Structure 1
């Protein structure tokens, strides 16, 4: 295991980033869905959301410093982290990194890693669907001529889009709503590809092991041929 300062930082701050992500998502959800809540509570949720975002920024800056790379190169090599920093609701998209880890370990036993990728994909779909539905509802429910009027409509649209089904009964009408929909489409395709590729690779690994296993009655058949 790599023991560089950057690797130690990434190992030790995982829990903090996970908590900050949940705080950000919860604060954003209350701001979007709790229109009737007292303004003081909504202001508190906004403060928590901004604080969580500040944690993401500090982590990004520290990792750039520990990497020893200049800003242009760090941004190019960590484009996904940069995108997630600008759009914190996309943090579940980090499933791509887990999928890349699977691809890099082709010569090692990976069954547990396959299972971890699939489980992480399921969690990411849930979080991404929740975040996407919130963003869609925020942009669409008050727009003139909008199809997505309730949060239930937003959830239905997000589920059909993430699953790449796309019934077409609902569609966003605002520019930002359509941009969110495009992001949900892209994430749905990426997650589906990650899970399908991981599961297919696991099946091929199982079939390869089965093919290398000698037949159970091979010695008996050999003795009969000799007699």
Structure 2
């Protein structure tokens, strides 16, 4: 229990720094693609930032593994984090570092209870659009048969691909570009399903709340009706039978004499 508390404290303390590092990774990844004319020193600096951010997420995974109470269970339940950490070590490509960093950022963002689902979905959409555009531009720009040559073309292609519209005016021609297209399509469908489920859950919760309020009001009305019926019964009992029996005896005797007439005097002897 003590180790688990230490793990929770570590995750809470490193949440914002890791998100800041993810922003730095995004900038370092985008600069060489958007500005290909940048010097060799800028490219090397951006590459160093990318590897540093990936290393920070790898260290975070190792620390959480060390602080976990059941490490075997932690590895089984966080296998995607492990794959994201190992993936760039197998083949040091910038695209693999991009995928692994996105996976790690997404996993850590879902752990934060203060991040709402809507915020996470919006961030995921923006991130996928941006990184998808940059990734496809980096692999399609030098293709002789490619038609995605500018950042505007890449963003338009990413948007139409994620929404599964697919106008066809821009399409990847390389194998890696088509793999990116498949990933964006699946991600777009998944995010659309999450948004739809979130909206449906909101409506269902709203209807259940209204139904519960209606049931509460109905129960209150029924309870009030029962009290009114009981009060009527008590009033009827008090004003009906018991009133007649409480008439004074003297008044009752005088009434009986008045109805029978004056008393007949007996003859004197």
Residue 136 of structure 1 is matched in structure 2 by: 136
Structure 2 Cα separation of the partners of residues 54 and 208 of structure 1? 47
Residue 71 of structure 2 is matched in structure 1 by: 69
Structure 1 Cα separation of the partners of residues 109 and 19 of structure 2? 15
Structure 2 Cα separation of the partners of residues 82 and 185 of structure 1? 24
Structure 2 Cα separation of the partners of residues 99 and 196 of structure 1? 18
Counterpart contact for 1:92–1:124, Cα < 8 Å: no
- The yes-or-no answer on 1:24 pairing with 2:25 is yes
**Are residues 100 and 43 of structure 1, via their aligned partners in 2, closer, same or farther at CA, if it must alter by over 3 Å?**
closer
Q: Please state how far the C-alpha of 1:169 moved relative to its aligned partner.
A: 2.5
Question: Size of the alignment, in residue pairs?
Answer: 213
Superposition TM-score, scaled by structure 2 size:
0.68
Q: Please state how far the C-alpha of 1:97 moved relative to its aligned partner.
A: 7.9
Moved more, 129-138 or 146-155: 146-155
Counterpart contact for 1:64–1:74, Cα < 8 Å: yes
Superposition TM-score, scaled by structure 1 size:
0.79
Residue 149 of structure 1 is matched in structure 2 by: 149
Counterpart contact for 1:137–1:149, Cα < 8 Å: yes
Q: Please state how far the C-alpha of 1:178 moved relative to its aligned partner.
A: 1.2
**Are residues 175 and 182 of structure 1, via their aligned partners in 2, closer, same or farther at CA, if it must alter by over 3 Å?**
same
Alignment of structure 1 residues 94-113 onto 2, 5 Å: none
Residue 9 of structure 1 is matched in structure 2 by: 10
Q: Please state how far the C-alpha of 1:98 moved relative to its aligned partner.
A: 7.0
Query: Which protein has greater RCO, CA pairs closer than 8 Å, 6+ apart?
Result: 1
Please list every run of 5 or more consecutive structure 1 residues that lacks an aligned counterpart in the other structure. Answer: 103-111
Q: Please state how far the C-alpha of 1:74 moved relative to its aligned partner.
A: 4.4
Deviations 1:84-124 (A, max 9, x none): 4334534556657877999xxxxxxxxx97xx201221111
**Are residues 46 and 99 of structure 1, via their aligned partners in 2, closer, same or farther at CA, if it must alter by over 3 Å?**
closer
Q: Please state how far the C-alpha of 1:147 moved relative to its aligned partner.
A: 2.2
Alignment of structure 1 residues 35-46 onto 2, 5 Å: 35-46=36-47
- The yes-or-no answer on 1:33 pairing with 2:34 is yes
Residue 89 of structure 1 is matched in structure 2 by: 98
Counterpart contact for 1:162–1:184, Cα < 8 Å: yes
Structure 2 Cα separation of the partners of residues 144 and 185 of structure 1? 24
Residue 117 of structure 1 is matched in structure 2 by: 117
Structure 2 Cα separation of the partners of residues 125 and 134 of structure 1? 14
Counterpart contact for 1:99–1:198, Cα < 8 Å: no
Structure 2 Cα separation of the partners of residues 188 and 58 of structure 1? 30
Superposed CA RMSD: 3.3
Counterpart contact for 1:139–1:177, Cα < 8 Å: yes
Deviations 1:38-76 (A, max 9, x none): 222222222111111111111122222222424xx6444
